[in-house]
Structure 1
C-alpha cells in the first residue's frame, strides 16, 4: 500500500434510508449465495480490465485522487473472487481471474511487472501472491503453458527472501522494495506479516521445511520488536516502525488486516506442525482482534449503533469517516482469514462463527446506497448508509457474508490432499537481486571521500564559470 491522505467521506444525507436492500438469511445457503452473487457483481462494475483496450488486472488509476485504486487492491479483489467461487461454486469470474493473475505476473513471473515495479511495496506483491495461493488452495486449474498458481507464489517468496535486512533493526523487511520510494525507511506489519503468512501457507501446501524456517524467523523478529505490545487486557499489533531511529518506537495505528495476516499464518503453521504453541499464539491474536475491532461501544458512533461486541469495525478510521480506498477494504481480509483460521484450528471456530454471523447481518445495514439501492458503505454498525461506496466496501461485505458459507469441504488444499498446482521451488530465482545486497555498506571514510569530492567539483565548476565570464 502507498502513503495517502485520508479524505472525508460524502455526507450521510445522500441516502437517508434505514432499510436494508438485502434480506439475508444466514440459515439459508441459497440466500447467502444469492446475496454474495449480487455483491460480487456490483464489485466487478468497477473493473474494466477485461474490456477491449484496457489492461487486464488493473482497477481504475493512476491514483491522483480518491477515485482510483492502487495495484495491490486489484490483486486482493481477485483473491476475493477465488474465494467467492470456492464458497458458491459459481465460476462466472474464473476466466477473468486467470487472465488477470497471469497478465500481472511480470517477466520473472513473481508479480513484479514493469508497470508497477517502480513503486513496488512488499505488501503489494504479497496480496497478488495470496491470490495465487488462494487459487492453488481452492483447486483452480493451472493455466496450460503458464506458471502454475503455486509457482507464482513461490516466486514471490524467493524474491522477498532477498529483502531480509539484518543490518538495520536486526532483521525484517522494509515496506518499499526500492530506496527511492517514500516509506522505504519503514518496516511495517503488513509487509513482514504478509511474508510470514506467505511462508506459512507455502509450508503447509508443499511440506517443505524451508518455508517453515522462514516463517519462524519472521515471527521471531516481529515478536521481538515494538510492533507487538502486550498490555493488561490484550495484544496490540501496531502498524510500523522506523529504521531512521533504530526501530525504537512505533506508529500507534491498528488495522484489521495486520491482525488477520498474523492470525492466518499461525493457523496454517499449527495445522501443518500440530505444535500447540501456534494455536496458543493464534488464540491470543484473535482475542486482541476481538477486543479491538469488535467493540461494545465506540466514541463518535451514532446513538443507534449496533455494536454489541460482535460487529467488525475499522476503528482507526470508520467512526470519523476518514478511511481511504485502501483502508475501506481491510475488513475483507480479516473476515476471510478468520474463517480459514476456524477451519485450520477447529477449537477457535465457534467464537469466530459468532462474530462473522453478526457482522454479516450488520453489513447489510450499509448495502442500501448508490443508484441501484444496494451499494455498500463502511459503517456496518449503523443502519443509515454512510454515503461511501467502492471496491473495498463491496469486497468487505462480499467477504464477510461469503465467510459464513465455508464448510469442511473447503479446507485449503495441499499437495497431499488433492491440490494439483505444480510446484517450482526455484521459481523466480533469475530475478535481479535486491539492490541493498549488491553494494557494500557506506562507511565514514566513504562519506568523507564523498565530501572532499563534492568540494573539488564545486570549486571546479566555480573556476569554469569564472573562465567563461572572463
Structure 2
C-alpha cells in the first residue's frame, strides 16, 4: 500500500480549494477516472491542429513539437480508447497514423530527414502495433496495414547500417550520418527497438523478433547502459568506443525497457524476464516517484525541454501495461500509480478553463501548459484503469534465458545528448479528496490511496 509522504500531502492540502475548482478525480472510482480522462483528452486535443484546413495531419504543430510526439499522441489516444470505449477521436487517429507513413511505409517522411532518429521512428511503429493489437479500424485496401508498418520499421532498424559494430552492434541514435547524434548510442533508441520487437513477438508469435529483441537487451547490458540495480542510463559515444556512460536517467527510457520486458515475460513465461520485470519495476519506482508523484528527476523542476514534458505519459503507460502483461505486479505498482495520479490531477488548475495541467506534479500549477503536460496526466489516468483486458501469459514455463537475468537497459530521450547536463539531454466530475478528508488524513500524518 502506497502512502503519500507528509510533504506531498501538505502540498495537496494547500492546493485543496484550487483543486476542487479545477480538475478533480477519485482515483478509486472508475467512473470518476473516466470523466476526468475525457476532460484531459479534450484539452490535449486543443493543441492539435492537423485536422484543420492547411495544417499537417499526424503531427503536433511545428516547430514547437518534434516528430516523435505525433506517434506518442496516437498511441496515448488508442490507449484511452481501449480503456474507456470512447471513440470520439477515431477519425483523427486514423488520419494521423496514415498521413505520415511515407513512401516506403516506414514513417520516414522526407521532410523529417534532418532530425530523424531511430527512436522517433519507433514511436510511430509502437502506435501502429498498438492499433493492430487493440482492434482499431483497419486501413483501407491499398493503404499499409498496421502490422506491416511496424514490421517494416523493425526490419529497417535490424540492418547493419543502423548499428555501431564496435559498440556491441547497438543502434545509433540518429539514422543519417550527417545528423548530430549519429555517433551517439541512445539507450532510448535501443529500448524502443527492444519494446517493438517484444510486441511483434507476442502479437504475431514471431520468434525472430523475440530473438532480436533479446539480443539488443543483452547488447546494451554489455555496454553498461543498464546496471545491476536496474538503473537505466542515457547513452554513450561511439567516438569514445562506448567506454564512457552518460549516467543521466530519464523516465521514458526505463519505461520502454520495462514494457518490453513485460511483453517478453508474457510471451515466453521465462523466469529471466520475470527477474528483469521485477528489477525494473522496483528501480523505476524508486527513481522516478521520489515523493509519491512521478518526476523526471534529471530535469525537474526547471530544466525540462518540451520533449521531456511527454515522458511521464510513457512512464505511467508502461507501468499500467506491465500490470496487464504480468498481473502479479499489480501489488507493487497500482498504489504508486494512484498516488501519482492524484497528485497530477491536483495541480490541473491552470488555463482559461481552470483545469489545464502543468508539467510538475509535486506542487501547485507551475504556469506551463502544452500537449506534453496534458498527455502525461492523461497517461496517468489511463494507467489506473486496470480492470479492462488483462492479458494472461502465453507460456508459464521457464525455457531458459536470453541473457543476464539481472540486466535492463535504457536510453536517452527522443533527443539524446552526449552531455551530462540535463538541459542538453533528451528531446528534446467528481471531487477526488474532499478538504475535510485531506485535513483528517493530515492529522493522521498519511493519506492512503487504494
In the superposition, the TM-score normalised over structure 1's length comes to: 0.78
Secondary structure of residue in 2 paired with 1:187: strand
Q: Deviations over 1:221-277 (max 9, x none)?
A: 0111121123xxx32211010001000011121000111011011100110111111
In structure 2, which of residues 77, 81, 85 is the aligned counterpart of residue 85 of structure 1? 81
Aligned to 1:326: 307
Aligned to 2:220: 222
Aligned to 2:134: 138
Q: Deviations over 1:397-443 (max 9, x none)?
A: 001011111324254999xxxxxxxxxxxxxxxxxxxxxxxxxxxxx
Q: How does 1:193-208 map to 2 (within 5 A)?
A: 193-208=191-206
Instruction: Check if 1:368 corresponds to 2:366.
Output: no
Aligned to 2:112: 116
Secondary structure of residue in 2 paired with 1:367: coil
Aligned to 2:232: 237
Aligned to 2:69: 73
Q: How does 1:20-419 map to 2 (within 5 A)?
A: 20=19, 21-62=22-63, 68-145=64-141, 146-162=143-159, 163-230=161-228, 234-295=229-290, 307=291, 310-319=292-301, 321-382=302-363, 384-409=364-389, 411=391
Deviation of 1:18 (Å): 6.0
Q: Deviations over 1:272-308 (max 9, x none)?
A: 111111011111011111111111xxxxxxxxxxx2x
Secondary structure of residue in 2 paired with 1:371: coil
Deviation of 1:164 (Å): 4.6
Deviation of 1:50 (Å): 0.3
Deviation of 1:371 (Å): 1.3
Q: Deviations over 1:432-467 (max 9, x none)?
A: xxxxxxxxxxxxxxxxxxxxxxxxxxxxxxxxxxxx
Moved over 3 A (4+): 410-414
Aligned to 1:303: none
CA distance in 2, matches of 1:279, 1:412: 14
Please tell me whether Structure 1 or Structure 2 has the larger radius of gyration of its CA atoms. Answer: 1
Question: Cα gap change, 1:164/1:120 in structure 2, threshold over 3 Å: closer, same or farther?
Answer: closer
Question: Cα gap change, 1:274/1:25 in structure 2, threshold over 3 Å: closer, same or farther?
Answer: same
Structure 1: gaps (5+ residues): 1-15, 63-67, 296-306, 415-470
Q: Deviations over 1:175-223 (max 9, x none)?
A: 0000111111100111001000000000000111100110111011011
Secondary structure of residue in 2 paired with 1:368: coil
Question: Cα gap change, 1:201/1:333 in structure 2, threshold over 3 Å: closer, same or farther?
Answer: same
RMSD: 1.7
Task: Kindly indicate whether the alpha-carbon contact (under 8 Å) linking 2:83 and 2:388 is maintained by their aligned counterparts in 1.
Answer: no
In the superposition, the TM-score normalised over structure 2's length comes to: 0.81
- If asked which structure has higher relative contact order (CA below 8 Å, sep 6+), I would say 2
CA distance in 2, matches of 1:388, 1:197: 31
Structure 2: gaps (5+ residues): 1-14, 395-450
Question: Cα gap change, 1:244/1:407 in structure 2, threshold over 3 Å: closer, same or farther?
Answer: same
Aligned length, in residue pairs? 376
Deviation of 1:385 (Å): 1.0
